[in-house]
């Protein structure tokens, strides 16, 4: 059973700059994650010219590029998109750990919101059924970017 996430309240994010890093590995899934994220950014009014998208070969490379984008201080938030699908070896566990820890490190080390849209599933079908997580990751990043603490 999937628990439905409460919808974020849409606000004007037209002035925000967003960096997106998306993996090419499992492109049938990651292309859909990206499409859902871009639709969500448009819904919030983020201008095309304020979106920087970088493609990397696999999910392990996502944190490195997120770090480069964060260091530039040009973005209000970042979004990580990828799909790690379990195989028959332990490689899956190492990739998941590296990506999750790397994304968290960028977020905390650079004090920049990062929407986590990296799927970690057992099957391709499970991943394909969750491509709307790209939109959730984008909305979460925008929501954190607007917080005034």
d(CA 134, CA 113) in angstroms, rounded, equals 15
Residue 47 burial (CB < 10 Å; 0-12/13-18/19+)?
A: middle
- Torsion angle, CA of 105/109/114/116, rounded to 10 degrees? 10
Catalytic option among 74, 91, 97, 125: 91
Q: Catalytic: 76?
A: no
Active site (catalytic) residues: 91
């Amino acid at each position: 059973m999937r628990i439905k996430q409460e919808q974020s309240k849409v606000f004007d994010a037209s002035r925000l700059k967003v960096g997106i890093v998306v993996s090419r590995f499992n492109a049938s899934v990651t292309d859909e994650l990206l499409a859902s994220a871009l639709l969500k950014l448009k819904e919030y009014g983020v201008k095309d010219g304020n979106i920087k998208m970088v493609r990397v070969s696999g999910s392990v490379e996502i944190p490195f590029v997120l770090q480069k984008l964060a260091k530039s201080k040009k973005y209000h938030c970042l979004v990580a998109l990828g799909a790690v699908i379990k195989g028959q070896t332990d490689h899956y566990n190492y990739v998941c750990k590296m990506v999750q820890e790397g994304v968290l490190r960028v977020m905390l080390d650079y004090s920049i919101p990062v929407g986590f849209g990296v799927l970690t599933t057992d099957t391709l079908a499970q991943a394909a059924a969750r491509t709307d997580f790209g939109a959730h990751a984008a909305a979460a990043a925008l929501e954190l970017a607007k917080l005034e603490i």
